[in-house]
Structure 1
Amino acid sequence: MTSHSVFERILDPSGRADPYPLFGELRHTPVARQEDGTYVVSTYREIVALLHDPRVSSDRRNLRSAAEAPDLALSFIGLDPPEHDRLRRLTMRHFGPPHSPGTVDGLRPAMVSLTTALIDGIAGKRRADLVDEVAYPLPVAVICRLLGVPVEDEPRFHAWADQIIETLGPGEEDRAERERERQAVAHELKSYLAGLAEDRRRQPGEDLLSGFVTYRGPEGGMTPQEVVATAVLLLIAGHETTINLIANGMLTLLRHPDQLERLRAEPGLIVPAVEELLRYEPPVQLVSSRVALDDITIDGTTIPAGSPIVLALAAGSRDPAHTADPDRFDLCRARNEHLGFGGGVHYCFGAPLARLETQIVLAELVRRLRNPRLAADPPPYRPSPVLRGPRHLLIDYDGVELA
């Protein structure tokens, strides 16, 4: 990519290891128009305002020059109220309060058991890839269990999810090609999930997919297309972001050994530690699917109706106008209001699950690994500018404590 603007340099994979100086430059112009007509918003106050502005749509079919509707258009992440609200309620009914309040916490024993087994699995080594051997297997197993995907099919959907993630991102110049690639992969994933949903219609279980296909209430139920689109969303979002949060988290702790040792000595700090990681090294760096429904003036700049909007969440969470000393990693940061899970009606659906998974895994890694240290820094990163995280995270260590 030939880079010109600050935002184009952020999109360039060569800078994936440390985009934060560029995000700092980006904040100098809180609302920056790009050559393709996209408006990039990078400061905390302005991002929060747009996350809660009903004139900002999540449905790309509202673009002034709309291309094909994205693959996730029928899932609630790609819809606006009231359609968004209906689908999100139908999905949440089987996942969290008020109808299923114990779903996430009920998974805690299984998460702890699997985490223990995964760390036991690297006990006989002195070098491990924490992405492949720990950060990836746990969230994948959990989302498979929640949705009712057979564990033996996990490698198939992981490959599909990987390909879809790598074609997501802002910018219009190669959008048509990325859309074609994503459509082809999404067709395979959707066909698989449609078959699984049909199995659940005939023989329901206790999983989310069974709930989606069988529930009928005052608002009706999900159509077959909505069931598949929602399952695609949850499968991808339910593990990709958590893998990155765990990997980014351990990488950050290893780069700050004083903070790692403090966490080892005070394990109760794991809750604020994960919140600080969500601010400092968020797995979701950009929200690139917003569209202005009307002319919107913000920070003195008017975004015309129909224009694409990118919200640079990672820049906003490190905005010095919002957070003191934002480039310092601090386990005990006071009033840690971050954008790690977005905000507004599209606040991350799976936030409680991602928090719990990350708290469990990082706490156990910190407790059990003896003298862990990075084997390579920076590690190799996945190319996506939207969901940022290491492709591998090699560490050396002197052993593993007993569980």
Structure 2
Amino acid sequence: MRHVREESGFSYWLISRYAESRQALLARELSNDPRRLGHQVDAHHAYSPMANNDPPDHTRLRKLVSHCFTRRRIAALEPRAERIVDELLDSVAPTGRADVISDLAFPLPVQLICELLGVPTQDRASFGLWATRTLSVATGPRTSNERSRRLRAYFTRLIEAKRTAVRAGTPADEQPDLLSALVVAQQESGSLSDKELVGLAVLILVAGHETTSNLIGNGLLTLFLNPDQLALLQVDMTLMPSAVEELLRFEGSAGQSSLRVAVDDVEIGGTLIPRGSVVNIGLSLANRDPAVFADSDTLDLRRDPNPHLAFGHGMHFCLGAPLARMLTEKALGALLSRFSGLALAADPDDLEWRQISILCGLTGLPVSFDPEMGGT
């Protein structure tokens, strides 16, 4: 652990060891509420725009949506996920070339999340394109703030439509979409504001989308750069769950946690962090700690155990983690099994990366393969 002061004057404690990182992620003295950072949040690149809160608000809001991301619910989505992956790959199979990001990694989670949230069928194509641009494009005719406002405005209208349907007594399926369920919960408890409801919709989109799209792209590139491990996986696809965990450890998209602020003096790893201090937990550094991971700079798809912190730890563990894991397994599995001769079609040094808050992912990942070999 060390104290860092940037040229801008912004200072924080950087935690890099695994044991200290786990301790910090569990510490109730470290607030995850970005409002406590005051004016510093605008200047610091690591600030997350996601609606992070502390208990009891965090507990209340997370409880409302956590059922959507249980292992059982995600397992039930697997057949639909497989169909979406096949449809997306069918469109590029005859060409022998694809951009894994735009052709698969971005549209896959958006399509599935549309169904989870209950986005009307007639809106899904345009919404998927719109949401993808909102999350991935930093430049263009509209600023990111304008795109975010449009996204929130859409969810506001959609929630009102769900509310109208609920009030009219429109019959719901046995498993209604999440937004309808949240509208019912809002009416029954009165503890969920309209602003929080819209914020939860945006959070689910971001949590489910960014973690997945980055993991698919970053993971496949990592496999290309480690051909021995790629060959190992192609020979034994039963390694896929273990492979995804190792790809998360080795090249997870979140290099650090969202910033914490000490609301009280707290001791982490024998170091006293004074009240009011900012704490930056280096997840990628912790995941390469040789005290926990043997040959930590080596990609090992058979690594076991693998207690990485790529999705965080404790009460702020990434909400979209189960969905990201499942969709990545389906996407990588289909790419490797369907496309013979799959290879990177660009110089790795020429690939471009985008930074969205604390997350980092590729803007594109061109690949080539034997054409017509991926048809179903």
**Who is 1:7 aligned against?**
none
Shift of 1:217: 8.8
Structure 1 unaligned residues grouped into runs of 5+: 1-29, 168-180
**Who is 1:13 aligned against?**
none
Establish whether residue 48 from structure 1 lines up as the match of residue 22 from structure 2.
Answer: yes
**Who is 2:2 aligned against?**
31
- Candidates 232, 242, 249, aligned match of 1:272: 242
Equivalence map 1:286-297=2 (5 Å):
286-297=256-267
Establish whether residue 121 from structure 1 lines up as the match of residue 83 from structure 2.
Answer: no
Q: Assess, with a 3 A threshold, how the Cα gap between structure 1 residues 55 and 275 changes in structure 2: closer, same or farther.
A: same
Q: Assess, with a 3 A threshold, how the Cα gap between structure 1 residues 67 and 48 changes in structure 2: closer, same or farther.
A: closer
| Structure-2 separation of matches of 1:72 and 1:392 | 23
Alpha-carbon RMSD: 2.4
**Who is 1:395 aligned against?**
367
TM-score by length of 2: 0.86
Q: Secondary structure at the match of 1:389?
A: strand
| Structure-1 separation of matches of 2:228 and 2:5 | 41
Identity of aligned residues (%): 38
TM-score by length of 1: 0.81
Contact 1:263 1:269 in 2 (8 A): yes
**Who is 1:322 aligned against?**
292
**Who is 2:158 aligned against?**
196
Shift of 1:300: 4.8
Equivalence map 1:2-401=2 (5 Å):
30-35=1-6, 36-63=10-37, 75=51, 78-93=52-67, 95-97=68-70, 102-149=72-119, 150-151=123-124, 152-162=126-136, 183-204=145-166, 206-215=176-185, 220-376=190-346, 377-378=348-349, 379-384=351-356, 386-399=358-371, 400-401=373-374
Contact 2:82 2:330 in 1 (8 A): yes
Shift of 1:319: 1.1
Which amino acid is 1:38 matched to? Y
| Structure-2 separation of matches of 1:43 and 1:385 | 22
Shift of 1:123: 1.3
| Structure-1 separation of matches of 2:133 and 2:38 | 33
Q: Secondary structure at the match of 1:297?
A: strand
Q: Assess, with a 3 A threshold, how the Cα gap between structure 1 residues 306 and 186 changes in structure 2: closer, same or farther.
A: farther
Cα deviation digits, residues 287-346 of structure 1 (max 9, x gap): 133111112233454332222221111111111122111111111001101011100100
Q: Secondary structure at the match of 1:39?
A: strand
| Structure-1 separation of matches of 2:65 and 2:297 | 37
Contact 1:90 1:222 in 2 (8 A): no
Cα deviation digits, residues 29-81 of structure 1 (max 9, x gap): x233224122221211111100000101111222376668x8957x4xx1111
| Structure-2 separation of matches of 1:96 and 1:115 | 20
Q: Assess, with a 3 A threshold, how the Cα gap between structure 1 residues 52 and 390 changes in structure 2: closer, same or farther.
A: same
| Structure-2 separation of matches of 1:190 and 1:142 | 19
Which is worse superposed, 371-380 or 50-59? 371-380
Contact 2:107 2:128 in 1 (8 A): no
Equivalent pairs, count: 351
Contact 1:380 1:390 in 2 (8 A): yes
Which amino acid is 2:297 matched to? D
